[in-house]
Structure formats: C-alpha cells, structure tokens
Amino acid sequence: MLPDNLFEPVHYEKVRRPLTEASTLPSWCYTTEAFYQREVEHIFLKGWNFAGRLEEIPEPGDYMVLDFCGESVIIVRGNDDDVRAFDNVCRHRSARLLDGRGHCRTIVCPYHSWVYGLDGKLVRMKGMEQTDQFDPSENGLITLRVEDWAGFLFVSFASDVMPLEEYLGDMTEQYASYRFADMLCVRRKSYDLKCNWKLYIENSMEDYHTATVHRGSIGNQDCIPVSTKGQWAAIHLEAAETIAVLPEDRSTLPHIENLNGLAAKGTYFSVIYPGTFFATHQDCMWWLQVLPQAFDRTKVVIGSCFPRSTTARDDFAREVQKYYARWDKALSEDNAIAERQQQGLNSRRSRPGRLSFYEPGVHGIANWVLDRTLESS
C-alpha cells in the first residue's frame, strides 16, 4: 500500500542506516509515476547528464539528439567550432526540430520552415512580418548548459548548475592518466529495456551478482570500494591484464602508456550520478548512458573507446571483435536480470530486502537519490 506522501523521510529510515543494517528502497521508488517525476524534477533537470563524445560531432553542422525524461536536446557543432546545446523545440508552435544524428547547415522547423542558425539564432521566419512587436532576437532556440571533460560532453537544463569539473570532483585527477581526450569512440549500441533506470545503475555498481548472472561469460568479480570526492562513486577490480575480453580470449592490443595508481593495477567501475557508468581498463574504456524514458522504461547506450594509436593498428579490426563479444554477452545478461527485477518489483507482494556487505554501491545510489528527492532535502 502506498503512503499518502511518498516523500516523507520516515518511510526511508531503514534505507538511511549503515550498509550492514540497511534495507533496499521500497518498490514504489521503481514503479510509480510520482516518484519518477520527482527524480526528473529534482535530479535530471538540475544536474549534469552525459550526452556523448566530442568526436561524434567533428565538423561544423554535425549534430546529435538526446532524448530522456520527456525532454529532447540538440547538441550541434557551430561554424565557429563551438559545441552548443538547445531544447529540441521550435519557438513558434513547439514542433520537434531534429531527430537522431546528422549534418545540417541550418536548423529548419519541419512545420512552418522557421530557420535557425547553428548558434540558435532565428534567421528566417516567413509570415511574421505583420506580427506586432515580434523581435527575432528574442525568439532563438533555448540554450542549455554544455561542457566537456576529456572529450566527454555533458548537458544540463539548470542555468545555476555547478561547473562540470567541480561536479566531477577528484574523478578528473584519479582518471587523468587514461588520457580520454586521446581516445576514439569506435562503436555505439543501444538497448530499450523494460526497467527503471536505477536498477541498471545499481547492477553496474555491485559485484555480488557476477558469479550468478555472468557465470557463463565473465564470471565472478571481487571489487573493493574506492574513496571518491564529488558526484561520483567507484569500485576497483585488481587484475594484471585487461578484463575487457572474455576469460577464454586473449588480446594483443597494448596497455595504455603511463597509467598510474589504481588505473595501472586493474579496472575501475564507476558511476557519475545520476545515470552514467564508466568501465576503465588498462587498454580501453566503455561507457553506459542510462536514459530514463518512463518509470519502467530505460534506454541504455554502450559506447566503446580505445586510444587513437590502438585504433590505427593493423590488427585492431580483428582484435576489437573480442571486446565486442564480451560486452554484448555480459550486457545481454545484465539486461535480462534488470527486466526480471522490475517484474518482481511490480508485484504487490514486493517488500524491501536487506543489503549485503557486497552492495555498498547500491546503498550509495539509494541514499544519493533520497538526498535529492525527500522533503527534508
């Protein structure tokens, strides 16, 4: 039975306890429109959201559209080489402007052919000559915040959001030796899942499931929590060689030169709150973009990145197939278990469960969400 007010802190007292005393979030946090809309308003519309890689829009006029949480964003490279972000909405009668990815010289509304420059300015609006006090300069596309770090683009709907590097905290330092800016995204693949967005992030940040869910692929992984500062969290798996391929495969691709600290000793698994996941190995990295579509629908995009020098190798096209095989296999297993978990949460009989010592990431995500959604926050 749902409480009258989902956002009273008293309902989450057991979630707030230390890990070994704590319980999971109640099922309504995954299955109700009210809680989802609270997350949209208080989390996704107020923070930074991962949009993609700079090299995905290399030339002026290249654009990509990002759809999540009922909003749509255009990210486009201008003639001045600057990257900008706009609401994907015409200022006339709100038609959607662009879809997918592509290239354009101007942004033209498909309804009445209003034309916007790549800088968002309204440059042509046939038929508005008789409209009193119409000022084109006041009717350009609505601009959003966009910043990049090491080749990764992030957007925010909030004009007062903190600078991206401040948001990321010490992630920029801990991950500096990977030199992400020198990498290329060589493949993107997306999945439409019937699950709440939090389930996918929670699953990505715990190793408790690996021996069961991934017993036929990557197998058991024993990670340790990493101390972090900023809006991110991480766990680390020590391994002398890359774990970005299946155990039966061996890769000839080289390690990234001059890695240091934990980066040189294995793999980081990390979340940039709310919905971005990084897996960083000694030879490559891959990311997950978790895009809520509804309280029980999520689009997950995986991107695969390698150093430019690695992608130029003669054996890269052959060797990279081993990495794709690992990612495709493991993600299909994660996708299936996330949907099964959503099915269980939909039951009227679902009750909060106790967390194990192996699930600090799940506990951390739950409390990060509650910090931003409850009435006392």
Per-residue pLDDT in tens (0 to 9) along the chain, 377 residues: 799 899 999 999 999 999 999 999 999 999 999 999 999 999 999 999 999 999 999 999 999 999 999 999 999 999 999 999 999 999 999 999 999 999 999 999 999 999 999 999 999 999 999 999 999 999 999 999 999 999 999 999 999 999 999 999 999 999 999 999 999 999 999 999 999 999 999 999 999 999 999 999 999 999 999 999 999 999 999 999 999 999 999 999 999 999 999 999 999 999 999 999 999 999 999 999 999 999 999 999 999 999 999 999 999 999 999 999 999 999 999 999 999 999 999 999 999 999 999 999 999 999 999 999 997 64
CATH code of domain 9-46+169-373:
3.90.380.10
Phi-psi region of 204 (alpha: psi -120 to 50; beta: other; left: phi over 0): alpha
| φ, ψ (nearest 5 deg) of residue 128 | -100, 5
Domain ranges of the chain: 9-46+169-373, 49-160
In CATH terms, is domain 49-160 a member of 2.60.120.700? no
Reported residue count of the chain is: 377
| Common-topology check for domains 9-46+169-373 and 49-160 | no
The pTM of the full predicted model, rounded to 2 decimals, is 0.95
Integer Cα distance of 180 and 45 in angstroms: 26
CB 373 within 8 A of CB 9: no
